[in-house]
Amino acid sequence: KLASREFNREDTVVRVRDVQIGGGTFVVMGGPCSVESMEQFRASAEIVKNSGATILRGGAFKPRTSPYSFQGLAEEGLKIMKQVSDETGLVTISEVMSGDMVPLVAKYIDILQIGARSMQNFPLLIEAGRSGKPVFLKRGPSAPIDEFLLAAEYVLSQGNPNVILCERGIVPLDRTYTRNTLDLAAVPVLKEYTHLPVIVDPSHGTGVARYVAPMAKAAMVAGADGLMIETHPNPKEALSDGSQALTTDKFTKLMDELRSLAGFL
């Protein structure tokens, strides 16, 4: 299999402009769940850049459980992301929800995110594989590791070697305390079986802002190649996932803690 360590002993390093994902560097992707306005996204980019993170996330097409919830700004959101990326130099990542939308998202965004709910949307995986862009593949909430790796195989087998894996939590026993169960054991398991970079998303993995920092640090200790973390200039006003978004202060503090923790490892 193309994802396996037998196929490739060297760690895959995905390079986007000056940013390197995998191969021993630790990368942080920060930004809001949804792009809400130019003002909100510029403020988010400032949080990310000032804290030393290098990749800016934002959702323009949102996979919401309810059709009545905010669905994202669509192409307008992508344009905002492109403009803010041009202004700040930050690399961008955003979700694409269907195969036919791949060219549109690829026109504005550096890294294509495949959401957890889409992990087995095979036509989408194939189109993303043909896009020429790095693909950030989130583990499905109910997907075993082998199915996660087979989903990555769909992208790789299109001739696209730039696949980044993301553990974002799996179906929990109940949702009283956390939104999902962050499977941190998946990190050393994946690092053993595949050469692809492994990123952890403790925001969706817990669903609770105050649990994000401890799990982010745990992910670094577990050997992850980086983190995806939701931030918001004003979480209370967020149009999606406000309860798990870190404020500017909390995100800045976490980034400082991660830097000192990295010094111990």
Chain residues in the site for Mn ion (CB under 5 A) = 33, 241
Q: Which two tokens stand for residue 246?
A: 């870190």
Q: Which residue stretch of 42-50, 68-76, 111-119, 211-219 sits at the interface with ligand PEP (rule: CB under 6 A)? A: 111-119
188 touches which of ligand PEP, Mn ion, none (CB within 5 to 8 A by kind)?
A: none
CA atoms within 13 A on the CB side of 190: 30
Distance CA 18, CA 80 (A): 21
Tell me the closest approach of the beta carbon of residue 15 to ligand PEP, in angstroms. 22
**Contacts with ligand PEP, 157-196, as mask; x by CB under 6 A:** -----------x----------------------------
Smallest distance, Mn ion to C-beta of residue 181, A: 17
Kindly state the smallest distance separating residue 180's Cβ from ligand PEP, in Å.
8
Q: Nearest CA to 118 among 166, 178, 82, 72?
A: 166
The interface with ligand PEP within residues 210-239 (CB under 6 A) comprises none
Q: 168 touches which of ligand PEP, Mn ion, none (CB within 5 to 8 A by kind)?
A: ligand PEP
| Binding partner selected for residue 115 from Mn ion, ligand PEP, none, CB under the kind-specific 5 to 8 Å limit | ligand PEP
For residues 43 and 209, what is the distance between their CA atoms, to the nearest angstrom? 19
Task: Tell me which residue has its CB nearest to ligand PEP.
Answer: 115
Nearest CB to ligand PEP, comparing residues 63 and 188: 63
CB of 132 to Mn ion, least distance (A): 26
Residues 227/29, Cβ–Cβ less than 8 Å: yes
The tokens for 158 are 């299109």
Q: List the one residue out of 21, 127, 41 whose CA is nearest residue 82.
A: 41
Evaluate whether 202 touches 219 at the Cβ level (below 8 Å).
yes
115 is a site residue for ligand PEP (CB under 6 A): yes
When binding is defined by CB under 6 A, the residue of 14, 16, 33, 53 that contacts ligand PEP is: 33
Q: What's the rounded Cα separation, in Å, for the pair 28 and 55?
A: 6
Q: How many C-beta neighbours within 10 Å does residue 237 have?
A: 10
| Distance of closest approach, residue 138 Cβ to ligand PEP, in angstroms | 4
Distance (Å, rounded) from C-alpha 139 to C-alpha 165?
7
Partner interacting with residue 167 (select from Mn ion, ligand PEP, none; CB below 5-8 Å by kind) = none
**Residue 63 binds: one of Mn ion, ligand PEP, none (C-beta under 5 to 8 A by kind):** ligand PEP
138 binds ligand PEP per the rule CB under 6 A: yes
Q: From the list ligand PEP, Mn ion, none, pick the one residue 129 interacts with, judged by a Cβ distance below 5 to 8 Å according to partner type.
A: none
Cα atoms found within 13 Å of the Cα of residue 133, Cβ hemisphere only? 26
The H or E element that residue 156 is part of is: helix 145-156
Minimal distance, residue 151 CB to ligand PEP, in Å: 13
Cβ atoms 179, 206 nearer than 8 A: yes
d(CA 212, CA 115): 19
* Binding-site ranges for ligand PEP (CB under 6 A): 33, 59, 63, 115-117, 138, 168, 204
